[in-house]
Amino acid sequence: MEQLELHQLEDHCIQEHLPPCTAACPIHVDVRGVLAELGRGNSAAALTLLNKTLPFPGIIGRVCDHPCQTACNRKDAGEALEIAALERACAEWGGPPTPPKVFPKKGKRVAVVGGGLSGLTAAFDLVRKGYAVVLFETDGRLGGSLWEISEELLPRTLLMEETRRVEALGVEIRLNAPIADESALAELSATFDVVYLAVGTLSACSFGLALDAQGCVQVDPVTFATDRAGVFAGGGMLHRPGESSFVLAMSEGRRAAISIDRYLQKVSLTAARYNEGPYVTRLYTNTEGIDPLPAVSMSDPRAGYTQAEASQEAHRCLQCECMECVKVCEYLEHFDGYPKKYIRQIYNNLSIVKGTRYANTFVNSCSLCGLCAEVCPEDLDMGEVCRRARQIMVAQDRMPPSAHEFALRDMAFSNSDKFALTRHAPGTEASAYLFFPGCQLSASAPQQVEKTYVYLREVLSGGVGLMLRCCGAPAEWAGRTDLFEEVQAGFMADYRALGSPQVILACSSCYRIFKEYLPDVTCVSLWDLFDAHGLPEEAGAVPQEGRAPLAVHDPCTTRHESHIHESVRHILERLGCPVEELLLSREKTECCSYGGLMWLANPELARDVVRRRIGESPTDYVTYCAMCRDFFAAQGKPTLHLLDLLFPLSVEGYGSEGVDGARRGPGYSQRHENRIRLKRHLLRDVWGEHVETERGDEMIPLRFTEAVQERLEQRLILVEDIQAVIAFAEKTGTKFVNRETGHFLTHYKPNNVTYWVEYAPEGDGFVIFNAYSHRMELVEEESA
């Protein structure tokens, strides 16, 4: 991933942007942080944090016009926080401030003209940076226009005490020292390296500086440089009376100090200076569902908040952040970050030459479902980021082989002769339609695939062909562009041979793949067809009266297919089935963990994802994706497939029987077996062909206990793998024996995995006691 591509993606995540209060504050006080400390009752910690940006908290807490409060998101849920009063409380209850750190002297001299808040702030910042600062004040006291504030609001002792802090830091104060005209400025410029002018509202004298149309001193809006070299200006003299504020004056003093420092260090005054003044943040904070709360009132408004009141008020702070995607995604929450952080980790992961790629698991754990993009105020899709990252990992030859291999083998199986089949309907030589049930529905519910094919041939004219294959989704999820293209080419060849009919898709993952990658292939969702052509007769076989309600789980790959959502709800309505809508449904639906092969790359997380989804309603679920159904049912959530309601009568001949929502789906081996049988049944029943499937090792009869079978499922070891191992052992005699138990132990590596099987002969077959596998290879061929 290119650096630029990364930065562009990263920029879409706004989680690290400042909260609205801080962005609106001209000097960007960390209000959220201060209020968090206050809310916890830590006044001292709150004051320390406040002091980081604010040199005179006691004063500003009383006189600030608090633009932060106008921006506060709390106003949408009650009233805005009383931020100014809380700052004042901080200064009041936080104890004496810790003196700020002062850098070593740099040997340059700065003159600050004006002892108001702007000049004081500039002097404060510059003396800390190590400059020798002399402050010239016309009057006999510091504070400038602060003395116009009533004594009741701003006690004089506080005013004098806080302004005197600059002196304690080493600023030389010259009171009764007016700098009142151009020649006095010229004299200062000759004696000092830089001059900062902050004399308040201009009266008669403009120091011979350029003025704007309003009659105010004209400065560069970013650097506060005047038209005279080495002279900067800020505060009231830049504004018409009443158009500035104390906190803005401080902000300008601070920004001018940054410029002065850069000017004296002879570096660019303008480089990388953005958002230094007040601005509107991009940070989004959702206030929906937050209980409205009014501001905490003060028992004595003149005295301000007591410590307890301040803590209570601060506790109302929403601690603004976005996290919209993280809130709805178990995966994004699981790794303790948010997209901006994750994208940086992915970038590092892809750039590592030597070392551990810690983000591999992260990249491979995403279901690629796109819910994050749906809820993101800036449309950032982490699924797309992870999909791209996987493709790059594959291209770099850095994709962990164990991550997706099992699913890719399953895909290869589905596209092999064992399952793959392409036919026109019997007795026809043309197809207007092509039914493509998909690999997983065929594995989970082969009997319903058979029935659906009968239904389609009844309601549609012009011929309905059939194609059994996998659409290639596993390869796309695994970043295996090579395999994906191969699968698509295979499909296209068969599809063209049939005369390019309209493809009927039962699986929404297939639907997404076709829509995205084969735009020239006309597709229709099976559910839209049921809705248009009426329900199968069999659907009426179960009485509709008093049906229990079902909550609809939309498969994540239908996210942007609202027509499918509608069709499914129409069908349920016609079935007389009361429908409950989940909070996250339709375009905001969640993935069942099958998407993106999360279930394979991160089984623990996948379990949590399913648990979260099935816990969203106590009502039984109905869905129209075989994997969603099987995954939910596997963790105890009764879930029906829509086909269970359309074809409620079970058929004999497959591993799983019945259409009970609580039934467990077939295991991995049975899924293969079901596909083999589906092909055989269809050929026999629809085309009248009797096929002897080539089944070598797979004819070896095996017997397991349920516990062993469960273990094989967990270890992703298929019956066909075990059969291959035993066939090899029995043929070559390569095995170990335990004389005590009579068991054999043997191993074989039919693919990238070595399988070990403990077994014993029994009748015409074998009983299996255990099996395990590894990927490491042994060098054992040479004789000892």
Partner 1 sequence: MTEYGHQAADEVWECARCGVPLEPREISVSYLDSAFPVELLRCPKCGQTLVSEELALGKMIEVEKQLEDK
CB-wise, 13 or 729, nearer to partner 1? Answer: 729
Stretch that binds partner 1, among 41-49, 55-63, 601-609, 735-743 (CB under 8 A): 735-743
CB-wise, 404 or 671, nearer to partner 1? Answer: 404
Q: Is 358 in the site for partner 1 (CB under 8 A)?
A: yes
> What's the residue count for the chain?
784
Q: Is 345 in the site for partner 1 (CB under 8 A)?
A: no
Residues 6+ apart with CB under 8 A from 223: 232, 255, 256, 259, 269, 270, 273
Residues 6+ apart with CB under 8 A from 493: none
β 736-737/744-748 pair status:
antiparallel
Q: Is 707 in the site for partner 1 (CB under 8 A)?
A: no
Q: How far is the CB of 774 from partner 1 (least distance, A)?
A: 4
Q: According to CB under 8 A, which one of 734, 751, 761, 762 is a site residue for partner 1?
A: 734
Stretch that binds partner 1, among 319-327, 513-521, 551-559, 736-744 (CB under 8 A): 736-744
Q: How far is the CB of 603 from partner 1 (least distance, A)?
A: 13
- Residue with tokens 């709805």, as numbered in its chain: 328
Q: Is 529 helix (H, G, I), strand (E, B) or coil?
A: helix
> From residue 764, how far is each of 98, 721, 722, 726 by CA, in Å?
86, 19, 16, 13
CB-wise, 612 or 743, nearer to partner 1? Answer: 743
Q: Is 742 in the site for partner 1 (CB under 8 A)?
A: no
Q: How far is the CB of 401 from partner 1 (least distance, A)?
A: 7
Q: How far apart are CA 358 and CA 350, in angstroms?
A: 10
The single-letter DSSP state of residue 217 is: B
Q: How far apart are CA 247 and CA 126, in angstroms?
A: 18
CB-wise, 148 or 780, nearer to partner 1? Answer: 780
Q: Is 784 in the site for partner 1 (CB under 8 A)?
A: yes
- Interactions with partner 1, residue window 361-390 (CB under 8 A): 361
Q: For the chain, first and last CA: distance in Å?
A: 49
**Nearest by Cα to 751 from 395, 413, 394:** 413
Q: According to CB under 8 A, which one of 70, 297, 737, 762 is a site residue for partner 1?
A: 737
Q: How far is the CB of 606 from partner 1 (least distance, A)?
A: 17
Q: Is 400 in the site for partner 1 (CB under 8 A)?
A: yes
**Nearest by Cα to 43 from 84, 100, 97, 82:** 97
Residues 6+ apart with CB under 8 A from 399: 390, 393, 478, 479
Q: Is 780 in the site for partner 1 (CB under 8 A)?
A: yes
What is the SS3 string spanning 718-763? CHHHHHHHHHHHHHHCCCEECCCCCCEEEEECCCCCEEEEEEEEEC
Q: In what order do the strands lie in the sheet with 433-436?
A: 421-423, 464-468, 433-436, 502-505, 523-525
Q: How far is the CB of 607 from partner 1 (least distance, A)?
A: 19
Residues 6+ apart with CB under 8 A from 69: 21, 80, 81, 82, 83, 84
Q: According to CB under 8 A, which one of 693, 736, 751, 762 is a site residue for partner 1?
A: 736
Q: Is 51 helix (H, G, I), strand (E, B) or coil?
A: helix
Q: How far apart are CA 129 and CA 97, in angstroms?
A: 19
Residue-wise burial string across 109-121, b where 16 or more C-beta atoms lie within 10 A, e elsewhere: ebbbbbbbbbbbb
Q: What is the dihedral of CA 147, 149, 151, 155, to 10 degrees?
A: -70
Q: Is 739 in the site for partner 1 (CB under 8 A)?
A: yes
Q: Is 744 in the site for partner 1 (CB under 8 A)?
A: yes
Q: Is 741 in the site for partner 1 (CB under 8 A)?
A: yes
Q: Is 203 in the site for partner 1 (CB under 8 A)?
A: no
Other Cβ atoms closer than 10 A to 54:
27
- Interactions with partner 1, residue window 288-307 (CB under 8 A): none
Q: Is 684 in the site for partner 1 (CB under 8 A)?
A: no
Q: According to CB under 8 A, which one of 1, 432, 454, 745 is a site residue for partner 1?
A: 745
CB-wise, 109 or 711, nearer to partner 1? Answer: 711
Stretch that binds partner 1, among 127-135, 338-346, 398-406, 558-566 (CB under 8 A): 398-406
Q: How far is the CB of 355 from partner 1 (least distance, A)?
A: 8
Q: Is 383 helix (H, G, I), strand (E, B) or coil?
A: helix
Q: According to CB under 8 A, which one of 53, 432, 756, 760 is a site residue for partner 1?
A: 756
Q: According to CB under 8 A, which one of 747, 748, 759, 768 is a site residue for partner 1?
A: 747
Q: Is 735 in the site for partner 1 (CB under 8 A)?
A: yes
Q: According to CB under 8 A, which one of 51, 281, 360, 557 is a site residue for partner 1?
A: 360
Q: Is 506 helix (H, G, I), strand (E, B) or coil?
A: coil
Q: According to CB under 8 A, which one of 176, 191, 396, 738 is a site residue for partner 1?
A: 738
Q: According to CB under 8 A, which one of 289, 294, 355, 543 is a site residue for partner 1?
A: 355
Q: According to CB under 8 A, which one of 228, 254, 357, 451 is a site residue for partner 1?
A: 357
Phi-psi label, residue 665: left if phi above 0, alpha if psi -120 to 50, beta otherwise: beta
- Interactions with partner 1, residue window 415-454 (CB under 8 A): none
CB-wise, 148 or 777, nearer to partner 1? Answer: 777
Q: Is 733 in the site for partner 1 (CB under 8 A)?
A: yes
CB-wise, 692 or 740, nearer to partner 1? Answer: 740
Asked if residues 602 and 361 have their Cβ atoms less than 8 Å apart, the reply is yes
Q: Is 348 in the site for partner 1 (CB under 8 A)?
A: no
- Interactions with partner 1, residue window 134-163 (CB under 8 A): none
Dmax over Cα atoms in the chain, in whole Å?
Answer: 115
Asked if residues 116 and 55 have their Cβ atoms less than 8 Å apart, the reply is no
CB-wise, 359 or 682, nearer to partner 1? Answer: 359
Using CB under 8 A as the binding criterion, the count of chain residues that bind partner 1 stands at 38
Q: How far is the CB of 226 from partner 1 (least distance, A)?
A: 58
Q: What would the x/- binding string for partner 1 be over residues 4 to 23, using CB under 8 A?
A: --------------------
CB-wise, 315 or 743, nearer to partner 1? Answer: 743
Q: How far is the CB of 409 from partner 1 (least distance, A)?
A: 17
CB-wise, 464 or 601, nearer to partner 1? Answer: 601
Q: Is 401 in the site for partner 1 (CB under 8 A)?
A: yes
Q: How far apart are CA 218 and CA 234, in angstroms?
A: 10
Q: According to CB under 8 A, which one of 288, 336, 652, 777 is a site residue for partner 1?
A: 777
Asked if residues 27 and 254 have their Cβ atoms less than 8 Å apart, the reply is yes
Q: How far is the CB of 772 from partner 1 (least distance, A)?
A: 5
CB-wise, 241 or 733, nearer to partner 1? Answer: 733
- Interactions with partner 1, residue window 710-729 (CB under 8 A): none
What are the DSSP calls for 237-295, one per residue?
GGS-TTS--HHHHHHHHHHHHHHHHHHHTT--SSTT--S-S----------TTPPPBPP
Joined tokens for residue 252: 């300008």
Q: Is 501 helix (H, G, I), strand (E, B) or coil?
A: coil
Stretch that binds partner 1, among 1-9, 87-95, 397-405, 442-450 (CB under 8 A): 397-405
Residues at the interface with partner 1 (CB under 8 A): 355-358, 360-361, 400-403, 733-741, 744-745, 747, 754, 756, 770, 772-784
